[in-house]
Amino acid sequence: MQNHIDRVLLGRGAISDRVRALGDELARDLTGELVKEGSPADATDRIVFVPVMTGALVFTADLIRHLPLPIAMRLVSVSSYPGAATQSKGATLKSYLSDDLAGRHVVIIDDILDTGETMRMLRGLVEDRRPASVRACVLLKKQLGKPAVAEAEHVGFEIPDEFVVGYGLDYDGHYRNLPDICVLKREAYEG
Protein backbone atom coordinates (compact mmCIF):
# COMPACT_ATOMS: atom_id res chain seq x y z
CA MET A 1 0.00 0.00 0.00
CA GLN A 2 2.60 2.59 1.07
CA ASN A 3 4.41 2.18 -2.28
CA HIS A 4 1.39 3.74 -3.94
CA ILE A 5 2.57 7.11 -2.64
CA ASP A 6 4.03 9.24 -5.42
CA ARG A 7 5.40 12.17 -3.39
CA VAL A 8 4.86 14.45 -0.41
CA LEU A 9 2.88 17.50 -1.49
CA LEU A 10 2.62 19.26 1.88
CA GLY A 11 4.88 18.31 4.75
CA ARG A 12 3.79 18.26 8.40
CA GLY A 13 5.68 21.48 9.21
CA ALA A 14 3.97 23.50 6.48
CA ILE A 15 0.59 22.02 7.45
CA SER A 16 1.09 22.89 11.10
CA ASP A 17 2.07 26.52 10.31
CA ARG A 18 -0.92 26.99 8.04
CA VAL A 19 -3.39 25.40 10.48
CA ARG A 20 -2.20 27.80 13.18
CA ALA A 21 -2.74 30.76 10.80
CA LEU A 22 -6.23 29.47 9.91
CA GLY A 23 -7.02 29.26 13.61
CA ASP A 24 -5.96 32.89 14.07
CA GLU A 25 -8.04 33.93 11.04
CA LEU A 26 -11.13 32.12 12.34
CA ALA A 27 -10.68 33.43 15.87
CA ARG A 28 -10.49 36.99 14.51
CA ASP A 29 -13.65 36.58 12.38
CA LEU A 30 -15.65 34.85 15.08
CA THR A 31 -14.60 37.40 17.71
CA GLY A 32 -15.83 40.04 15.22
CA GLU A 33 -19.24 38.31 15.10
CA LEU A 34 -19.46 38.24 18.90
CA VAL A 35 -18.51 41.92 19.18
CA LYS A 36 -21.08 42.84 16.50
CA GLU A 37 -23.92 41.19 18.38
CA GLY A 38 -22.74 42.42 21.78
CA SER A 39 -21.82 38.99 23.17
CA PRO A 40 -18.80 38.71 25.50
CA ALA A 41 -15.77 36.87 24.06
CA ASP A 42 -16.27 34.05 26.58
CA ALA A 43 -19.96 33.54 25.73
CA THR A 44 -20.79 29.86 25.57
CA ASP A 45 -23.30 28.43 23.09
CA ARG A 46 -22.57 31.03 20.40
CA ILE A 47 -20.17 29.12 18.12
CA VAL A 48 -20.71 25.65 16.68
CA PHE A 49 -18.17 23.74 14.63
CA VAL A 50 -19.53 21.17 12.18
CA PRO A 51 -16.66 18.92 11.05
CA VAL A 52 -17.28 16.54 8.17
CA MET A 53 -16.26 13.04 9.11
CA THR A 54 -14.05 11.26 8.55
CA GLY A 55 -11.71 13.32 6.38
CA ALA A 56 -11.73 16.44 8.59
CA LEU A 57 -10.92 14.52 11.79
CA VAL A 58 -7.19 15.26 11.97
CA PHE A 59 -7.48 18.83 10.66
CA THR A 60 -10.27 19.63 13.14
CA ALA A 61 -8.33 18.18 16.07
CA ASP A 62 -5.37 20.46 15.28
CA LEU A 63 -7.42 23.52 14.32
CA ILE A 64 -9.61 23.72 17.42
CA ARG A 65 -6.54 23.79 19.65
CA HIS A 66 -5.67 27.19 18.13
CA LEU A 67 -9.07 28.67 19.00
CA PRO A 68 -9.22 30.52 22.30
CA LEU A 69 -13.06 30.76 22.14
CA PRO A 70 -15.73 28.46 23.61
CA ILE A 71 -16.96 26.22 20.79
CA ALA A 72 -19.45 23.37 20.58
CA MET A 73 -18.92 20.46 18.19
CA ARG A 74 -21.57 18.79 16.05
CA LEU A 75 -20.05 16.10 13.81
CA VAL A 76 -21.63 15.11 10.52
CA SER A 77 -20.92 12.25 8.19
CA VAL A 78 -21.10 12.65 4.42
CA SER A 79 -20.45 10.16 1.69
CA SER A 80 -19.26 11.30 -1.73
CA TYR A 81 -16.46 8.96 -2.75
CA PRO A 82 -17.81 5.49 -2.07
CA GLY A 83 -15.11 2.81 -1.75
CA ALA A 84 -12.29 3.12 -4.25
CA ALA A 85 -13.90 5.97 -6.25
CA THR A 86 -11.73 9.03 -6.92
CA GLN A 87 -14.47 11.03 -8.66
CA SER A 88 -17.28 12.57 -6.61
CA LYS A 89 -20.57 10.67 -6.92
CA GLY A 90 -22.56 13.56 -5.41
CA ALA A 91 -22.83 14.17 -1.68
CA THR A 92 -25.29 12.51 0.70
CA LEU A 93 -25.67 13.12 4.42
CA LYS A 94 -25.05 9.86 6.29
CA SER A 95 -25.79 11.13 9.77
CA TYR A 96 -28.06 13.41 11.73
CA LEU A 97 -27.36 17.15 11.51
CA SER A 98 -28.01 18.75 14.88
CA ASP A 99 -31.12 20.94 15.08
CA ASP A 100 -29.63 23.33 17.66
CA LEU A 101 -27.87 25.65 15.17
CA ALA A 102 -30.50 28.41 15.09
CA GLY A 103 -29.12 31.84 15.96
CA ARG A 104 -25.56 30.53 16.37
CA HIS A 105 -22.35 31.04 14.38
CA VAL A 106 -21.66 27.87 12.44
CA VAL A 107 -18.29 26.87 10.99
CA ILE A 108 -18.33 23.91 8.58
CA ILE A 109 -14.93 22.20 8.54
CA ASP A 110 -13.81 19.88 5.76
CA ASP A 111 -10.54 18.42 4.61
CA ILE A 112 -10.85 19.35 0.94
CA LEU A 113 -13.10 21.28 -1.42
CA ASP A 114 -13.15 19.56 -4.78
CA THR A 115 -16.30 19.88 -6.92
CA GLY A 116 -17.96 21.70 -3.99
CA GLU A 117 -20.95 19.30 -3.93
CA THR A 118 -20.35 18.38 -0.28
CA MET A 119 -20.13 22.04 0.75
CA ARG A 120 -23.16 23.04 -1.30
CA MET A 121 -25.28 20.35 0.35
CA LEU A 122 -24.07 21.14 3.87
CA ARG A 123 -24.39 24.90 3.53
CA GLY A 124 -27.99 24.37 2.41
CA LEU A 125 -28.82 22.12 5.34
CA VAL A 126 -27.15 24.48 7.82
CA GLU A 127 -28.90 27.56 6.34
CA ASP A 128 -32.25 25.76 6.74
CA ARG A 129 -31.63 25.80 10.51
CA ARG A 130 -31.44 29.62 10.54
CA PRO A 131 -27.99 30.18 12.04
CA ALA A 132 -26.71 33.72 12.85
CA SER A 133 -23.82 33.16 10.41
CA VAL A 134 -22.25 30.37 8.38
CA ARG A 135 -18.67 30.07 7.20
CA ALA A 136 -16.70 27.19 5.79
CA CYS A 137 -13.08 26.34 6.50
CA VAL A 138 -11.25 23.75 4.40
CA LEU A 139 -7.63 22.75 4.60
CA LEU A 140 -7.31 22.13 0.86
CA LYS A 141 -8.96 23.39 -2.28
CA LYS A 142 -8.35 21.71 -5.62
CA GLN A 143 -7.60 23.95 -8.56
CA LEU A 144 -9.98 22.63 -11.19
CA GLY A 145 -10.40 24.13 -14.63
CA LYS A 146 -13.85 25.40 -13.60
CA PRO A 147 -15.32 27.04 -10.49
CA ALA A 148 -16.54 24.81 -7.66
CA VAL A 149 -20.32 24.79 -7.03
CA ALA A 150 -19.78 26.15 -3.49
CA GLU A 151 -16.96 28.05 -1.84
CA ALA A 152 -15.17 28.23 1.51
CA GLU A 153 -14.31 31.51 3.26
CA HIS A 154 -11.15 30.03 4.73
CA VAL A 155 -8.78 27.90 2.64
CA GLY A 156 -5.49 26.46 3.86
CA PHE A 157 -3.83 25.55 0.57
CA GLU A 158 -4.79 25.52 -3.09
CA ILE A 159 -3.49 22.32 -4.64
CA PRO A 160 -3.26 20.86 -8.15
CA ASP A 161 -6.01 18.51 -9.34
CA GLU A 162 -4.44 15.27 -8.11
CA PHE A 163 -5.72 12.70 -5.65
CA VAL A 164 -4.16 13.28 -2.23
CA VAL A 165 -4.08 11.25 0.97
CA GLY A 166 -2.81 11.66 4.52
CA TYR A 167 -3.56 14.03 7.41
CA GLY A 168 -7.10 12.59 7.52
CA LEU A 169 -7.66 12.14 3.80
CA ASP A 170 -8.11 8.59 2.57
CA TYR A 171 -8.16 6.45 -0.49
CA ASP A 172 -10.63 3.58 0.03
CA GLY A 173 -10.22 3.92 3.81
CA HIS A 174 -6.41 3.89 3.83
CA TYR A 175 -3.65 6.43 4.54
CA ARG A 176 -5.59 8.73 6.90
CA ASN A 177 -2.85 8.39 9.50
CA LEU A 178 0.02 9.67 7.33
CA PRO A 179 1.36 12.87 8.94
CA ASP A 180 2.07 14.53 5.57
CA ILE A 181 -0.28 15.16 2.65
CA CYS A 182 0.86 13.00 -0.26
CA VAL A 183 -0.08 12.50 -3.89
CA LEU A 184 -1.30 9.00 -4.70
CA LYS A 185 0.18 7.34 -7.78
CA ARG A 186 -2.33 7.19 -10.59
CA GLU A 187 -1.67 3.48 -11.03
CA ALA A 188 -3.18 2.95 -7.55
CA TYR A 189 -6.62 3.82 -8.84
CA GLU A 190 -6.37 3.66 -12.64
CA GLY A 191 -6.56 0.14 -14.07
Judged by beta carbon, residue 30 or residue 139, the one nearer ligand IMP is: 139
State the minimum distance, in angstroms, from the CB of residue 168 to Mg ion: 9
Contacts of 73-76 with C-beta under 8 Å, sequence gap 24+, read 73/48, 73/49, 74/48, 74/49, 74/50, 74/98, 74/100, 74/101, 75/50, 75/51, 76/50, 76/51, 76/52, 76/122
Closest CA to 111 of 13, 22, 1, 189: 22
Contacts with ligand IMP in 161-190 (CB under 6 A)?
A: 163-165, 169
- What residue 180 binds from Mg ion, ligand IMP, none (CB within 5 to 8 A, per partner kind)? none
Is 114 catalytic? The answer is yes
Contacts with ligand IMP in 49-108 (CB under 6 A)?
A: 52, 55, 80-81, 88, 91
Question: Residue from 23, 51, 55, 131 that binds Mg ion (CB under 5 A)?
Answer: 55
The strand ranges marked E within the chain are 5-10, 47-53, 72-73, 76-79, 92-93, 105-113, 133-142, 154-159, 164-165, 181-184
Helices (H), the chain: 12-37, 57-63, 117-128
Annotated catalytic residue, options 110, 111, 114, 180? 114
Judged by beta carbon, residue 55 or residue 156, the one nearer Mg ion is: 55
Judged by beta carbon, residue 10 or residue 52, the one nearer ligand IMP is: 52
Question: Residue from 109, 118, 131, 167 that binds ligand IMP (CB under 6 A)?
Answer: 118
Cα of first residue to Cα of last residue in the chain, in angstroms, is: 16
Residues in a beta bridge with 158: 141
Q: Does 156 bind ligand IMP (CB under 6 A)?
A: no
Judged by beta carbon, residue 33 or residue 176, the one nearer Mg ion is: 176
Catalytic residues: 114
Per CB under 5 A, residues contacting Mg ion are 55
Per CB under 6 A, residues contacting ligand IMP are 52, 55, 80-81, 88, 91, 110-118, 163-165, 169
